[in-house]
Amino acid sequence: MKRKRTSEPVVVKRDTSLPILQKSNEILSALAANDVLILVSDTGSGKTTQLPQIILDNAPNSSILITQPRRVAAITVATRVAAERGATLGDTVGYAVRFENKSSRTSTRIRYVTDGVLLRETLTDGFSALKRRYSHLIIDEVHERSVNTDIVLGVVKEALEPSGSPATKQNAPTGLGALLRSKLEFKVVLMSATTDAEKIAQFFRNGTSLNVKQLGISGIMHKVNTMFATEPVADYVDGAVEAALQVHTGYSNSGHILVFLPGQEDIMSAIGLLKGKLRHRFSKEQRRSVIILPLFAAQSPVEQLRAISDLPESMRATHRKIIFSTNIAETSVTIPGITYVVDSGVAKVRTLVPQNGLYTDVLRVQPISQAQAEQRKGRAGRTGPGYLFRLYTQDHFNKLEKYPIPEILRIDATSTQLQIIALKHFGRRRPEQNHLRFSMLNKIPRHARERALETLYALGALDKNMKLTETGELMARIPASPMLARSLLESLRLGCIDSMLSTAAVLSVEGSIFLRPSNKLEQAKAAHRRFLSPCGDHLTLVNVLHAYLQRAPTRKTEFCKDHFLNHRTLSVAEDVRNQLSVVMQHGDMVSWGLTHPFPPAVMEELEESGMEDLVRRCLVSGFFRNIARRRNEDGKYVPIGNVKAVGSFEQGVDVHPSSSFRAFRQRKIPSLVIYDELVWTTKMYIRTVCSIEHAWVPLHSSNYFKVRNFGVDETAPSAALNSRPG
Ligand code: ADP
Ligand code: MG
């Protein structure tokens, strides 16, 4: 007899008192009368979970796409909404994030995706497919102003413009679907907590005939008692731990504590510190009622859910959660039962710093904006009166920026620039969209734009007229940075796709693959030794991943434990590898490899190269910006691919202490290396480094370097982009 699979959907009750549900009629009529609705209300008022349901309940033929800035938000919210509707996740309610799709083309009516997924799908299917497939597009958390959200807003503005051309009709769905859909129009909703809604409204009105409506709905925020520090806190980790401890001991009523800290390292050290202090002051029995949990982006969804989800009923009265989180808990996810919030006042922000002649994408701890501080506050007043402890003074708060600085103004623009050019390019190929413009809320700053265009040109993604090439089209379709995408393409013509896929996977994961517990450091180092590659870190990591992939699923945990490896990171790497592998097997990719062969002389040379050489050649073709040369005088490296102007960087950098080069007994010191990132800790380091050969550079880095100068210190990226537009 066949065993029946039991996949009974979980059911939870919808909270009918949520402000958004109270105002559903007002929202529906605003939606009916306008093209774009900007909906602003406090976090927790029901925007993300309720609005799609309101739309679907009102018009059952609707098909709704909602973007979220983070994977974990898309997954948890879809899970919650499916439960509220008594549906199986992936059926009427589903989600899609970068490496996972739990939705169905035919039956999913409410689909939560990350904004990255929306961009990818627009790139592959086009703007018009978006309009055909969905009746409603909801962009959530617009206030975060991530680059992806900003590009999506540009895409949406474009998609909203009526094309008026008969070409659209030819692509329209036929049959019953068309009959039903033709009654619906494409509507866009932008949702946010605190935001500069007027700026966004203006953006959509500007140069269009769109009807744009702003609607604010007041939440049900309970009173939050706010306490400021009376003087600046010297160390925010110590300060946060002390505050959490005081709340735990001084405020006896129940309610969880949420502590905002900038990043993973701070969170882990705060947890260590708090545990130590608790051990000192409480008995084992008392400590059992405190559950301390971290929450940050690099965790697996399962780990994140542990922090986010409610305690079992039986534990609620007796146990208290203390959650140390990054700004992930600021808006997009709901953690039930928070009464106390401790706000460090800082967040980690990625910023491109053109400084000392070097461009560095650094994660820096920076003060948050007033809008973010208010969001953090709101987390304490969801279910009843709450308490907020700000580890900064009232005066400091008054001086903060009003809103966060949009990501597009801060980061390296190479990926963004390629996406924008590709979106325009694909749009133009469709006859009904030859009017295509592409406007954005904020332009990419000039220095970042120039550097991006120069890089894309050197990668072969753009031609001299800054038009997308065939290579660029393919690069835009690979879900990885342009540098990594180019290396993957190179591997198709060098015949080392398998190893390059592994390299791409280990470079794509956040967090370290090697574990180095301080109490077993020597043991860990010894275990890591067996993976060492003399070529450097990239290939060492590939050795680890390959060993991991060879283990049977049931042996993987044990393998990681024995070798001091991070199982979570490796399993993510495996997923990434599988996903990229599917993309790279596409016929267009394979034929690119076949139609771009090297000259016969080079082919001969390649035939004698081992896998490790081939992979490093691929890295040169993508990461030439990250080439560094060792200086004889002091052994420091000069990042020659990164200089803004010849000779303007003299400081030199060291190889990061974690590098596999440091593990060799007689240190092999390569004269030329390629690195994955420049990091600032106590000083500047290059991290994830492998050696390369001089001869590879002119062959694989096309026109980035002035080839004839290569080999002397004046080497500089070719500034010979004479015909740069704008
Ligand atoms: P908004 O998008 O306006 O911030 P949400 O729709 O995310 O609001 O959440 C509305 C309310 O639904 C929350 O305040 C909470 O009460 C409830 N809720 C949402 N997600 C969950 C969840 N995963 N678990 C428990 N309750 C939730
Ligand atoms: Mg929300």
Written as one string, the DSSP assignment of 365-414 is EEEPPHHHHHHHHHTTSSSS-EEEEESS-HHHHHHS-SSPPPGGGTS--H
Residue 1 lies in a domain: no
pLDDT band of 78, cuts 50, 70, 90: very high
Alpha helices in 563-714, H assignment, sequence order: 567-584, 587-595, 600-607, 611-623, 696-700
What is the pLDDT, as a whole number, of residue 245?
94
Does residue 713 form part of some domain?
Answer: no
**In this structure, which ligand is nearest to the CA of 334?**
1
One domain for residues 147 and 250 = no
Give the pLDDT confidence score for residue 650 in this predicted structure: 66
User: In 169-319, which ranges are E strands?
Assistant: 187-192, 212-217, 224-228, 256-260, 290-295
Q: How far is the CA of 611 from the centre of ligand 2 (A)?
A: 47
Please state, in angstroms and rounded to a whole number, the distance separating the CA atoms of residues 494 and 598. 9
172 vs 619: which has the higher pLDDT: 619
Please tell me whether residues 189 and 241 are part of one structural domain. no
Ranking 356-370, 440-454, 552-566 by mean pLDDT, the lowest is 356-370
Residue 494 falls inside a structural domain: yes
The residue whose CB lies within 8 Å of the most ligand 1 atoms, and thus the one to mutate among 13, 43, 49, is 49
Which residue has the CA at smallest separation from atom 14 of ligand 1?
44
495 and 601 together in one domain:
yes
pLDDT per position as a tens digit, 298-328: 777 778 888 988 888 888 888 999 999 998 8
- In the structure, what pLDDT confidence band is assigned to residue 160 with cuts at 50, 70 and 90? confident
User: According to the model, what pLDDT value does residue 145 have?
Assistant: 87
Ligand 1 geometric centre to CA of 77 (Å): 8
Q: Does any domain span residue 386?
A: yes
pLDDT, one tens digit per residue, over 678-718 is 877 667 788 999 999 988 988 887 667 643 344 333 333 43
Q: Is there a single domain that holds both residue 386 and residue 443?
A: no
Helical segments of 532-586, H only: 537-550, 556-562, 567-584
Which distant-in-sequence residues (6+ apart) come within 8 Å of 533 by Cβ?
539, 540, 542, 543, 612, 660
Task: With respect to residue 725, please indicate whether it lies within any of the assigned structural domains.
Answer: no
Boundary residue ending a domain (409, 430, 447) = 409
Hey, is 646 helix, strand or coil? coil
The pLDDT > 90 percentage for the chain reads 48
pTM (predicted TM-score): 0.80
Specify whether the CB–CB gap between 327 and 372 falls below 8 A: yes
Last residue of a domain, one of 390, 409, 428: 409
Is residue 14 situated within a structural domain? Answer: no
* Same domain assignment for residues 567 and 624: yes
Q: How many domains, in total, are found in the chain?
A: 3
Beta strand 110-114 with 93-97 is parallel
Ligand 1 pocket residue status of 23, Cβ below 6 Å: no
Do residues 437 and 316 share a domain?
no
Q: Tell whether 232 and 210 lie within a shared domain.
A: no
Sheet arrangement for strand 224-228: 224-228, 386-390, 338-343, 256-260, 320-325, 290-295
* Structural domain span for residue 351: 224-409
Nearest-CA residue for atom 21 of ligand 1: 334
271-303: pLDDT as tens digits: 999 999 999 988 888 888 899 999 988 777 778
> Which of 10-24, 451-465, 635-649 has the least mean pLDDT?
635-649
Tell me: the pLDDT tens digits for 526-564? 999 999 999 999 999 999 999 999 999 999 999 999 999
pLDDT of residue 713: 33
Computed over every residue of the chain, the mean pLDDT equals: 85
Q: Could you tell me if 333 and 449 lie in one domain? A: no
Q: For residue 715, is it within any domain?
A: no
Same domain? For 368 and 448 the reply is: no
| In a shared domain, residues 403 and 429 | no
**Predicted complex: ipTM over 0.90:** yes
Mean pLDDT of 219-236: 89
Confidence of residue 597 (pLDDT cuts 50, 70, 90): confident
Question: Is the pLDDT score of 456 beyond 60?
Answer: yes
Q: How confident is the model at residue 357 (pLDDT cuts 50, 70, 90)?
A: low
Q: What pLDDT is recorded for position 317?
A: 82
pLDDT at 177: 41
Question: Residue 32: which CATH number?
Answer: 3.40.50.300
What's the pLDDT at 226? Answer: 95
pLDDT value, residue 172: 42
**What is the per-residue pLDDT for 538?**
97
Asked if residue 162 and residue 127 are part of one domain, the reply reads yes
pLDDT of the residue at 647: 44
| Atom 10 in ligand 1: residue holding the nearest Cα | 46
Counts for the chain of helices (H) and strands (E), in that order = 29, 21
Nearest to 402 by CA among 570, 196, 600: 196
Report, as an integer, the average pLDDT of 186-208: 87
Q: Is the CB of 194 under 6 A from ligand 1?
A: no
Ligand 1: does its nearest atom lie under 6 Å from the Cβ of 45? yes
Beta pairing, strands 110-114 & 224-228: unpaired
For ligand 1, what atom is nearest to the CA of residue 50?
6
Higher-confidence residue of 318 and 91: namely: 91
Residue 361: which pLDDT band, with cuts at 50, 70 and 90? low
Write down which residue in 186, 217, 248 finishes a domain: 217
Ligand 1 within 6 A of CB of 80: yes
Mean pLDDT of 380-404: 91
Q: State whether the beta carbon of 617 lies less than 6 angstroms from ligand 1.
A: no
H/E element holding 131? helix 127-133
Q: Ligand 1 within 6 A of 219 CB?
A: no
Contacts of 409 (CB under 8 A, 6+ apart): 442, 445
The residue assigned the tokens 């835009």 is 476
In a domain, 583, yes or no: yes
Atom 7 in ligand 1: which residue has the minimum CA distance? 48
Q: Which position has the higher pLDDT, 179 or 251? A: 251
pLDDT, average across residues 573-587? 93
Percent over 70 (pLDDT), the chain:
87
The answer to whether the CB of 334 is under 6 A from ligand 1 is: yes
pLDDT of 722 higher than 80: no
Structure confidence at residue 1 (pLDDT): 41
Counting Cβ atoms within 10 Å, is residue 280 exposed (0-12), middle (13-18) or buried (19+)?
Answer: exposed
Regarding whether 82 and 161 lie in a shared domain, the answer is yes
Determine the pLDDT at residue 529.
Answer: 93
CA of 44 to the centre of ligand 2 (A): 7
pLDDT tens digits, 647-672: 445 678 889 888 888 877 556 678 99
Judged against a pLDDT cut of 80, whether residue 500 lies above it is answered with: yes
Apex CA 411: angle with CA 409 and CA 413, to 5°? 90
